[in-house]
Amino acid sequence: MRTSVLTGILACALIFLSQSAKAEAASIDFLTINSTEPAMQQLLAVADIPLPGFNVEEVVPKAVVSEHVVLENETLSEIAKQYGTTWKRLYDKNVSVVSPDVILPGEKIAIPTEMEEITARALPEPVVVQHKAVISPPNPKSKAKTITTAPASSSGNKYVAGYCTWYVKNRRPDLPNNLGNASTWVSRASAQGLATGSSPAVGAVGQQGNHVVYVESVNGDGTVTISDMNFSGWNVVTTRTVPAANFNYIY
């Protein structure tokens, strides 16, 4: 009888020691798990609990587009529309853009996030500079052609404020907003059925290279008096008299 009791006590002690050893081994295994594995996978491995279909990659957020490479004839307004922002936020964020109306193909434009706080870059007030014109007396037999503009477009002026395209659009609100940079105004206007040509007319738009002007008067000596913005500096309005042959025109 006494021998049976001792045998039972010894068996219980051996079982307890075995369970303690297993628990200690499990603790060591848990503490020495490869730290490079995801935490969830480590816990599942220790607990030996499978979780079918769990994919760590599925919970990784998609990358946010951080910059845009400018394409030929793109404007800040067009880029802003693609990313659900405004040209002003793009201009404010990209301090390397000196002129919001002039961006070059291949240039990288940083795209701000929706909640990003950006320091505003103030646009200065227009400065009007009058250039005294020396004009020959007009030929009394010569009559300047004057055009009649159509009603203003309901879409308003979507060109960037402070630049030649914005100024001319204000003077000719009937023109569309899709003429692009100044260098493409005549070609795009012609493609849309607008009258274009090489003869000046009062109220016409003149294009020379990447610059557009508004024709104030046609003079009898082969010159035109024009007003424009950005000839002397950004956001600066000038009035001057130049040869009419310098421009191609939109009527």
Res. 11 pLDDT band, cuts 50 70 90: low
Weakest mean pLDDT among 80-84, 145-149, 170-174, 183-187? 145-149
Per-residue pLDDT at 204? 96
Mean pLDDT of 109-133: 71
For 203-243, how does the pLDDT look when each residue is reduced to its tens digit (9 = 90+)? Answer: 999 999 999 999 999 999 999 999 999 888 778 899 999 99
Domains of the chain: 2-59 (no CATH), 67-110 (3.10.350.10), 127-250 (3.90.1720.10)
Q: How far apart are CA 194 and CA 210, in angstroms?
A: 19
Q: Using H for helix, E for strand and C for coil, what is the string for the chain?
A: CHHHHHHHHHHHHHHHHHHHHHHHHHHHHHHCCCCCCCHHHHHHHHHCCCCCCCCHHHHCCCCCCCEEECCCCCCHHHHHHHCCCCHHHHHHHCCCCCCCCCCCCCCEEECCCCCCCCCCCCCCCCEEEECCCCCCCCCCCCCCCECCCCCCCCCCCCCCCCCHHHHHHHHCCCCCCCCCCHHHHHHHHHHCCCCEECCCCECCEEECCCCEEEEEEECCCCEEEEEEECCCCCCEEEEEEEEHHHCEEEC
Q: Are 229 and 239 in contact (CB under 8 A)?
A: no
Q: Are 182 and 133 in contact (CB under 8 A)?
A: no
Global pTM value: 0.46
Weakest mean pLDDT among 90-99, 135-144, 190-199? 135-144
Q: Residue 180: name the closest of 197, 168, 171 by CA.
A: 168
Mean pLDDT of 179-185: 92
41 compared with 27, residue with greater pLDDT: 41
Mean pLDDT of 135-164: 59
